[in-house]
């Protein structure tokens, strides 16, 4: 443990930070970091605290977390249509979960900052040519050329500006009328035709309309009908950026990461003595930590002790990502031991990252049925342990892409060629996302 409120970037790098790019010009990185330090915060510390309180309700079993967005955002993807489409599906999913399961839903976008990706290999080879792997728009370009793949620190400024533009649009949508519950039908337009799940949603929206007419008739018009609380999140992977966006809150003199409300530690960077865990232990935001099949119960307990020593409910979320075939065997011991130790944690299921495989025609994909099976396993394990299955983290998009196999439209491996647009992992499309919400609502109701 270092004895400063936040270690310096040099100290963090000295601890050994995994998954960082190698820049040619360290001075250029320092210059960018200095410029970032002078830019305004993207979120306020008080908003982060509000989210901690909401996640406290998740930890206590009183609310459910819906976290979703792209695996990797791109700078080119910062358009009004793209952001609106993603938000629209998240709002639809949230309404389905809230109405069909009568559970408060905490809404968290995996957006406005999700630009850096951990990779299992540092390089990529195509037709005998080897170049650095694409690590997300925060670091290098997707095009397979030496110039594009060279890590460029100037990109960190574009991360900031793209995040600011996205968050600004999201804030306008959620408070400016678009998220008004009277819009439940509007969110479904250009969707109903031809889609079974769109029709199902339309019926639910009619019920909500009737309930709202009833409320209006008795003179009730709560603020909650007209706006939603929505927060931002990303994996805080790239330490120069995250460190530059860390500020001391003037109210409490404590450090917050002001680039997002919620940040999480990925599966590849959760070493107890690593730089990421050290950094996360110092910030006051609500935080997440991924736990895959290699995580032992003792690892989870040690992480909780370091990341949430005061055992504050809502401060720490464990996001499990075992894979459909492993969750029923691997998760029970973890959950039971953590619960027996009295550790306050929100448990969330990431049913995506343990279920990725390469199709015969060469696409990185996932089966909708595996995603569903992992969520079902998650619910079953928590129900058996007497703990609360607190939420889901999904990689999804508002567009009709063909990246995951299955679902009501029965996308096949051969269909992947039509609209595969993700630059890293395959996302649920609009129909698959909404279908998942209906199925999870059923699990919640049981």
DSSP 166-180: HHHHHHHHHHTTTT-
Q: Is 71 assigned a ligand-binding role in the annotation?
A: yes
> How many CB atoms sit inside 10 A of residue 113's CB?
32
Using CB under 6 A as the binding rule, whether residue 290 contacts ligand PEP is answered as yes
Q: Catalogue the E-assigned strands of 343-382.
A: 346-349, 357-358, 364-365
Output the smallest distance, CB 445 to ligand PEP, in A: 28
Output the smallest distance, CB 378 to ligand PEP, in A: 14
- Shorter beta-carbon distance to ligand PEP: residue 204 or 307: 307
366 binds, among ligand PEP, Mn ion, none (CB under 5 to 8 A by kind): none
> Within 411-430, which residues bind Mn ion (CB under 5 A)?
425
Output the smallest distance, CB 18 to ligand PEP, in A: 11
Residue from 56, 69, 240, 266 in contact with ligand PEP (CB under 6 A) = 266
Using CB under 6 A as the binding rule, whether residue 118 contacts ligand PEP is answered as yes
Q: Is 86 assigned a ligand-binding role in the annotation?
A: no
- Shorter beta-carbon distance to ligand PEP: residue 61 or 118: 118
> Within 5-64, which residues bind ligand PEP (CB under 6 A)?
none
Q: Is 395 assigned a ligand-binding role in the annotation?
A: yes
Q: Return phi, psi of residue 168, to 5°.
A: -60, -45
**Token pair listed for 81:** 């249509």
Residue from 149, 234, 315, 321 in contact with ligand PEP (CB under 6 A) = 321
Q: Is 290 assigned a ligand-binding role in the annotation?
A: yes
Q: How would you classify the pairing of strands 262-265 and 230-235?
A: parallel
**Rounded distance between C-alpha atoms, residue 341 and residue 102, angstroms:** 30
DSSP 3-state of 67: strand
- Shorter beta-carbon distance to Mn ion: residue 195 or 397: 397
321 binds, among ligand PEP, Mn ion, none (CB under 5 to 8 A by kind): ligand PEP
Total residues interacting with ligand PEP, rule: CB under 6 A? 9
- Shorter beta-carbon distance to Mn ion: residue 71 or 371: 71
How far apart, in Å, are the Cα atoms of 123 and each of 72, 132, 141, 146, 150?
18, 4, 13, 12, 11
- Shorter beta-carbon distance to Mn ion: residue 71 or 349: 71
Output the smallest distance, CB 132 to ligand PEP, in A: 18
Output the smallest distance, CB 65 to ligand PEP, in A: 15
352 DSSP 8-state letter:
S
> Within 56-85, which residues bind ligand PEP (CB under 6 A)?
71
The gap from C-alpha 306 to its chain's centroid, in whole angstroms, comes to 22
290 binds, among Mn ion, ligand PEP, none (CB under 5 to 8 A by kind): ligand PEP
- Shorter beta-carbon distance to Mn ion: residue 308 or 432: 432
367 binds, among ligand PEP, Mn ion, none (CB under 5 to 8 A by kind): none
Contacts 24+ apart (CB under 8 A), 340-344: 341/301, 341/304, 342/311, 343/300, 343/301, 343/304, 343/308, 343/311, 344/59, 344/308, 344/311, 344/312, 344/313, 344/314, 344/315, 344/316
Q: Give the range of 68-76, 140-148, 368-376, 378-386 binding Mn ion by CB under 5 A.
A: 68-76
325 binds, among Mn ion, ligand PEP, none (CB under 5 to 8 A by kind): none
Closest to 281 (Cα-Cα) out of 270, 291, 290? 270
- Shorter beta-carbon distance to ligand PEP: residue 107 or 321: 321
Using CB under 6 A as the binding rule, whether residue 267 contacts ligand PEP is answered as yes
Residue from 107, 353, 366, 367 in contact with ligand PEP (CB under 6 A) = 353
Output the smallest distance, CB 353 to Mn ion, in A: 6
Closest to 342 (Cα-Cα) out of 314, 295, 304, 303? 304
**Rounded distance between C-alpha atoms, residue 300 and residue 286, angstroms:** 17
Which residue blocks in 123-195 are alpha helix, DSSP H?
A: 146-149, 155-175
Q: CA angle at residue 83 from 353 to 233, to 5 degrees?
A: 50
* Residue 169 half-sphere exposure toward CB, CA atoms < 13 A: 19
243 binds, among Mn ion, ligand PEP, none (CB under 5 to 8 A by kind): none
Which residue blocks in 218-296 are alpha helix, DSSP H?
A: 239-244, 275-282
Using CB under 5 A as the binding rule, whether residue 71 contacts Mn ion is answered as yes
Output the smallest distance, CB 267 to ligand PEP, in A: 4
**Rounded distance between C-alpha atoms, residue 85 and residue 200, angstroms:** 19
Residues that bind Mn ion (CB under 5 A): 71, 425
Instruction: Tell me the binding residues.
Output: 71, 110, 267-268, 290, 321, 353, 395, 425
Instruction: Tell me the binding residues for phosphoenolpyruvate.
Output: 110, 267-268, 290, 321
Residues that bind ligand PEP (CB under 6 A): 71, 118, 235, 266-268, 290, 321, 353
């Amino acid at each position: 443990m270092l004895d400063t409120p936040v270690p310096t970037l040099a100290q963090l790098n000295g601890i050994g930070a995994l998954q960082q790019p190698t820049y040619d010009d360290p001075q250029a990185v320092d210059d960018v970091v200095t410029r970032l330090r002078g830019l305004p915060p993207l979120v306020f510390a008080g908003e982060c605290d509000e989210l901690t309180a909401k996640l406290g309700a998740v930890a206590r079993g009183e609310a459910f977390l819906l976290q979703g967005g792209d695996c990797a955002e791109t700078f080119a993807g910062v358009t009004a249509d793209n952001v609106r489409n993603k938000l629209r599906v998240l709002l639809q999913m949230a309404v389905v979960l809230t109405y069909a399961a009568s559970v408060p839903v905490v809404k968290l976008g995996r957006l406005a900052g999700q630009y850096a990706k951990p990779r299992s290999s540092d390089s990529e080879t195509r037709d005998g040519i080897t170049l650095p792997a694409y690590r997300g728009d925060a670091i290098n370009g997707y095009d397979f050329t030496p110039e594009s793949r060279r890590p460029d620190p100037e990109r960190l400024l574009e991360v900031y500006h793209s995040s600011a533009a996205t968050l600004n649009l999201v804030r306008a949508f959620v408070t400016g009328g678009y998220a008004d519950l009277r819009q439940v039908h509007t969110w479904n337009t250009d969707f109903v035709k031809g889609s079974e799940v769109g029709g199902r949603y339309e019926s639910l929206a009619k019920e909500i309309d009737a309930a709202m007419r009833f409320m209006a008739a008795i003179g009730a018009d709560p603020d909650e009908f007209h706006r939603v609380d929505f927060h931002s999140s990303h994996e805080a992977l790239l330490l120069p950026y995250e460190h530059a966006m860390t500020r001391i809150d003037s109210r409490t003199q404590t450090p917050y990461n002001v680039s997002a409300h919620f940040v999480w530690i990925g599966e590849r960077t959760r070493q107890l003595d690593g730089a990421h865990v050290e950094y996360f232990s110092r910030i006051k935001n609500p935080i997440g930590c991924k736990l895959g099949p290699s995580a032992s119960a003792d690892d989870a307990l040690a992480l909780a002790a370091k990341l949430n020593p005061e055992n504050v409910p809502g401060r720490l979320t464990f996001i499990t990502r075992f894979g459909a075939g492993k969750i029923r065997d691997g998760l029970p011991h973890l959950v039971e031991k953590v619960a027996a130790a009295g550790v306050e944690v929100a448990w969330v299921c990431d049913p995506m990252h343990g279920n990725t495989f390469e199709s015969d025609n060469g696409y990185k994909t996932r089966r909708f049925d595996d995603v569903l099976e992992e969520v079902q396993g998650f619910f079953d394990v928590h129900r058996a342990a007497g703990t609360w299955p607190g939420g889901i983290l999904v990689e999804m998009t508002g567009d009709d892409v063909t990246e995951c196999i299955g679902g009501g439209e029965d996308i096949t491996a051969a269909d992947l060629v039509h609209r595969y647009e993700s630059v890293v992992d395959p996302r649920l499309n609009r129909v698959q996302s909404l279908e998942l919400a209906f199925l999870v609502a059923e699990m919640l109701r049981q």
